[in-house]
Amino acid sequence: EAQVTQNPRYLITVTGKKLTVTCSQNMNHEYMSWYRQDPGLGLRQIYYSMNVEVTDKGDVPEGYKVSRKEKRNFPLILESPSPNQTSLYFCASYAPRGLTEAFFGQGTRLTVV
């Protein structure tokens, strides 16, 4: 089954404690992206990756890092989380050349206290 898997689904952490949210896809998609979803603001892109070892900033990259060492994995790293990073996070992947739809993970609800 084609899917994007995110972990964890829920996370409560304290300010400054480094955390990683994992994302893995099994569709061999080149393109992967992280979004955060906040009420009234829709989906905002944090970082994206066009392929292995190719990553770039999206619209709201401050406070986040990513890596793309393998095609299937695209972890999101918060080196020093702050309360304003409390949000719902989604990972997505698609194959840009094929004009396919994007597949989304189930989401990670992060609370930073």
Q: Note the residues at the interface with another protein (CB under 8 A).
A: 4, 31, 33, 40-43, 45, 48, 50, 56, 58, 90, 92, 96, 99, 101-107
Task: Considering the complex, state which of residue 55 and residue 85 has its C-beta at the smaller distance from another protein.
Answer: 55
Which of 13, 58, 36, 52 shows the shortest CA–CA distance to 104? 36
Task: Considering the complex, state which of residue 28 and residue 82 has its C-beta at the smaller distance from another protein.
Answer: 28
Task: Considering the complex, state which of residue 74 and residue 90 has its C-beta at the smaller distance from another protein.
Answer: 90
Buried b (16+ CB within 10 A) or exposed e, 66-92: bebeebbbbbbebeebeeebbbebbbb
Q: Least Å distance between CB 66 and another protein?
A: 14
Q: Least Å distance between CB 16 and another protein?
A: 28
